[in-house]
Amino acid sequence: MKTALLFAGQGAQAVGMGRDLAGAFPTARLLMDRANAALGYDLARICFEGPEEDLTRTENAQPGIFLVSWVALSLLQERVPGLSFEATAGLSLGEFTALAAAGVMTFEQGLQVVRSRGRFMHEACEQTRGGMAALIGLDEAATREVCDATGVTLANLNCPGQIVISGELDRIPAAVEAAKGRGARKAIPLTVAGAYHSPLMASAQPKLAAALAGIPLQPSRVPVIANVTARPHGGPDAIAPLLVDQVTHPVRWEASMHCLLDQGFTRFIELGPGTALSGFMKRIRKDVQLLNVADVASLEATLSALTV
């Protein structure tokens, strides 16, 4: 059975994430302490206690999700020493976690660069007036027509019938109405700080490129699927440009999962808060094994499934 690890993206954060894992496992507490030392502030406390407005700030949410996802992976590997996986993938910020899991960067390097990425994206949001909306029940072709007609862009192609659009805030209402007019079952403006994965994030790109230039990226030990291409990353020199492109390009998650499915992957383990990626996969392919590690209960359930 070929196994792929999947890593959560921004939006999965929730106050309390990682707290029971830190309470139950010394390894989790050690990683939390390492994260706090690397960043110079108490990220773990924000994950555990919030307040929610602090956790949802992009510069906290991104490293917070990275941290909890890494803790989940580390505990799973600790409890299943022989665990093997043949590929990784992550949604948006989760792509950095996926690359770290494949050995491209260290835990501390990944944590620091996603903290910087979150800050750069927050700055881009403050410089623009952007928004996003989720469209339910509309295919990609019809969504592209909506985008062309209203001046917005595709942001996330998550799974059949679920696509997110992004663009200038005052264009989102027209796009929502146009989507409904083309048959979307739902078209819901999202409460977000800005227009992620759109050209409005362009000011974050040179800053992220500079941050990545300071990290000696290593060859990946297993294939890592890139959000922008929905294909495996190439060598170290090719990785950073795709991560920079990702800031303004759509996340091709459905196509990324088909890339893995076409290669015979049948087990997917979601690591980090929430189960959004498992939910997407249920819409993409039903005949695969879906496991997740987000807290003590889901860790134990996944251990039971892996040791059957």
Active-site residue set: 92, 197
User: Which tokens is 246 given?
Assistant: 């990702």
Reduced to 3 states (helix: H, G, I; strand: E, B; else coil), residue 303 is: helix
- Count CA within 13 A, CB hemisphere, residue 58: 22
The sign one gets for the Cα dihedral 120, 93, 80, 218 is negative
Beta carbons of 172 and 131 less than 8 angstroms apart: yes
The Cα–Cα gap between 243 and 220 comes to: 15
Task: Output the DSSP codes for 80-146.
Answer: STT---SEEEESTTHHHHHHHHTTSS-HHHHHHHHHHHHHHHHHHHHHS-EEEEEEES--HHHHHHH
Backbone angles phi, psi at 6, to 5 degrees: -120, 140
**Given its phi and psi angles, is residue 103 left (phi above 0), alpha (psi -120 to 50 degrees) or beta?**
left
